[in-house]
Amino acid sequence: MESDLSALDATAQAELVRSGEVAPLELVDAAINRVEKVNSELNAVIHPLFDKARATAGGAELADGPFRGVPLVIKDLDGYSAGDPLHLGNELLKRTGFVADHDSHLFAKLRGAGFVVVGKTNTPELGLMPTTEPTAYGPTRNPWNTGHGTGGSSGGSAAAVASGMVPVGHAGDGGGSIRIPASACGLFGLKPTRGRVSLGPEIGEAWAGLVQRHVVTRTVRDSAAVLDVLQGPMPGDPYFAAPPARPFLEEVGTDPGKLRIGVRTNAPAAMAETDPECVAAAQDAAQLLESLGHHVEEASPAALEETTLLELFLVVLTTHVVSDIRHIEAMSGQTVGPDDVEPLTWVYYEQGMQGTAISYLEAVDASHAWSRRVAEFWASPDQGGQGYDLLLTPMMAEPPPEIGDVVGTKDDPWHGMARATAFAAYAAPFNVTGQPAMSVPLYWEASRNLPIGVQLVAQYGREDVLLRVAAQLEAARPWADRRPPVHA
């Protein structure tokens, strides 16, 4: 039965519990065995929570929600999980052993749905990089090719799901950190609309609204069902997305109709050269979408050509790194110096300290104005827009990089940032706009057996359109049964 369980998504595992065929503790024990089997090769789970998971699965406190007994992993970032370590990929917090004393809303909702946390996963320091190779815990390796990375910042969760340890991994996305690891590991990854999932109670927004949180999964239906669990405002949220017309799970299998889809295969603002394999992945997806009855043509928002986006993004990012350093100091009870964080983190901190409140507000205002120009692509003609339903792009400008390729050093801390641009160039613009976007695993590079995802972006608030199309693509070219060489 254990080998069979590794092939099942969260929805199917939950059904086994509801039908009485499997007990929650059996699901959790099987997942723990799978983690123990392959984690040493991948370094995905850095905080095993096995005893706690077994106690939860076998205890009366296990919630009777839609995912009762289903095991998952949560990222060591993006919120507090009561009684569990939280190190943010940082060596100082690892040394001082910080433990959270409460649940963030997101983790409380996951527990309320019946999920059981079996471990916390690796993440780059403060989630700053599109690769998961923190000094504190070492690199997470890609189960498709262990010489390559998993993307970041949710790379540990992505590796855990792709290798069959668990069916669902919590993830967060401030510049591609759900979509990039999903692409690198051959998973489905949906970044929700800004304000869809509460970041409270600790914060109202992260990185001036760039960050959204959700999960990575093997199947579209799991992603939709978990979004139904997580979506919706909590008391005191500064803003929230309009509620969906019906549950997101009901969009899976619904005919999307004939959509108007624009395609772009050159990176916004020429931030990176796009590898031919990544172009081929997008072109392949375009042909598939056309075969499904959609109208597909080369087109994209004119504002994506503007060269100021990276500068605006960095102003917001570096300012919030200063705040994050202050947070580490509060958590550790120590003053943070250059030896307590990685070289690029400290460079970001120093740059953020040179900024002013006015320069930060100007960058936020300019980002909002730029977002309006981008949004015209999706707006209806009577609103002065172009009326497209979706934008299709490569997910990354390069296939998953080799371990060590996207990391800064003391001698050259900016190397990491320079290399990171290729992996965030297509993703980050839609953190700025707040639009929902997803990575869909339709293409594999044959020579190195590496997944290469494609990105689809919808109008603000229209996850329903993305989920309909994702399910259509999943039915036309199923991916969930593909197994990487390293698999539980």
Catalytic center residues: 75, 153, 177
Place of tokens 């503007």: 306
The first and second tokens of residue 252, run together, are: 């899976």
Let me know: does 114 contact 66? Beta carbons within 8 Å. yes
Let me know: does 92 contact 134? Beta carbons within 8 Å. no
Residues 6+ apart with CB under 8 A from 430: 191, 437, 457
User: b/e map of 121-136 (b: 16 or more CB within 10 Å)?
Assistant: bbbbbbbbbbbbbbbb
Using alpha carbons, select from 483, 429, 484, 482 the residue that is nearest to residue 457: 429
DSSP string, 333-395: TS---GGGS-HHHHHHHHHHHH--HHHHHHHHHHHHHHHHHHHTTTS-GGGTS---SEEEEES
Let me know: does 78 contact 29? Beta carbons within 8 Å. no
DSSP string, 206-245: SGGGT-EEEEEESSHHHHHHHHHHHBB--TT-S--PPPPS
Which value, in Å, is the radius of gyration of the alpha carbons in the chain?
21
8-state DSSP, 191: E
Largest CA distance in the chain: 60
Place of tokens 């991916």: 479
Q: How far is CA 251 from CA 198, 256, 269, in A?
A: 22, 9, 34
Residues in a beta bridge with 169: 73, 216
